[in-house]
Amino acid sequence: MKVFKLYSEFDSYLNKIRENKTVAFVPTMGSLHQAHLDLVEEASKVYDIVVCSIFVNPRQFNNVVDFKNYPRDIDKDIRILQNTRCAILYLPKESELYNSEEIELFDLNKLDNYMEGEYRPGHFQGVVNVIDRFFALIHPEAAFFGQKDIQQLIIIKYFSS
Ligand code: PAF
């Protein structure tokens, strides 16, 4: 598994190996567990190259303390991913993903107004902001998301349809 922190290096490597191959993307915020590994495994059954990312996305946290306290153990996550079919791990810096302080507001068909969205205003906009950026940088044929957070899944499906 290749690990990249710089987008330019990640992108040039991906383009080199991509050619006629298909790419699946598994975005994560780290603290990897079996469900993430299952996503990688599922993705690898259908797509040629599995790209994972680990990025604790500040835009989806309503609370700075929660963001600061979010568990981070990159070395452990890398060790875990090394035993999977993940071909490339991208660990972007915030500045490589976002070139403006402004959060783009997407039409989420009010799906973010209910349930968790009621208690975490802006959370789902933050999620789609980062997914939008990743999709623009990676151009994957498919992306794989956990099903535990069903509202997130529905919102991402709506956003990317
Ligand atoms: O579900 C998560 O871990 C995050 O919301 C995601 C999809 C990686 C976006 O930061």
Residue 10's pLDDT is: 98
pLDDT digits (tens, 9 = 90+) for 6-17: 999 999 999 999
Whether 57 lines ligand 1, by a CB cut-off of 6 Å, is: yes
* 79 CA distance to ligand 1 middle (Å): 20
Residue 63's pLDDT is: 93
In angstroms, rounded to a whole number, what is the distance separating the alpha carbons of residues 97 and 108?
21
Protein residue with its CA nearest to atom 8 in ligand 1:
28
* Per-residue confidence band for 110, with pLDDT thresholds at 50, 70 and 90: very high
Beta-bridged to residue 27, according to DSSP, are 53
Whether 78 lines ligand 1, by a CB cut-off of 6 Å, is: no
Residue 130's pLDDT is: 98
Whether 86 lines ligand 1, by a CB cut-off of 6 Å, is: no
Whether 27 lines ligand 1, by a CB cut-off of 6 Å, is: yes
Among 82, 66, 83, 84, smallest CA distance to 29 is for 66
Q: Which atom of ligand 1 is found nearest the CA of 27? A: 8
pLDDT digits (tens, 9 = 90+) for 42-71: 999 999 999 999 999 999 999 999 999 999
Residue 146's pLDDT is: 94
* Single pTM value for the model: 0.97
pLDDT digits (tens, 9 = 90+) for 72-106: 999 999 999 999 999 999 999 999 999 889 999 99
The 3-class secondary structure across 21-52, one letter per residue, is: CCEEEEEECCCCCHHHHHHHHHHHHHCCEEEE
**Test site for ligand 1: of 103, 120, 145, most ligand atoms within 8 A of the Cβ:** 145
Mean pLDDT of the chain: 97
Protein residue with its CA nearest to atom 6 in ligand 1:
28
For the question of residue 123 being annotated catalytic, the response is no
Q: Provide the percentage of residues in the chain whose pLDDT is more than 70.
A: 100
Residue 138's pLDDT is: 98
Among 126, 106, 103, 124, smallest CA distance to 115 is for 124
Query: Once rounded to an integer, what is the mean pLDDT over residues 22-38?
Result: 98
Q: How many residues does the chain have?
A: 161
Query: Once rounded to an integer, what is the mean pLDDT over residues 149-159?
Result: 97
Q: Provide the percentage of residues in the chain whose pLDDT is more than 90.
A: 98
Query: Once rounded to an integer, what is the mean pLDDT over residues 118-124?
Result: 96
CB atoms within 10 A of CB 104: 12
Residue 113's pLDDT is: 96
Whether 53 lines ligand 1, by a CB cut-off of 6 Å, is: no
Protein residue with its CA nearest to atom 1 in ligand 1:
28
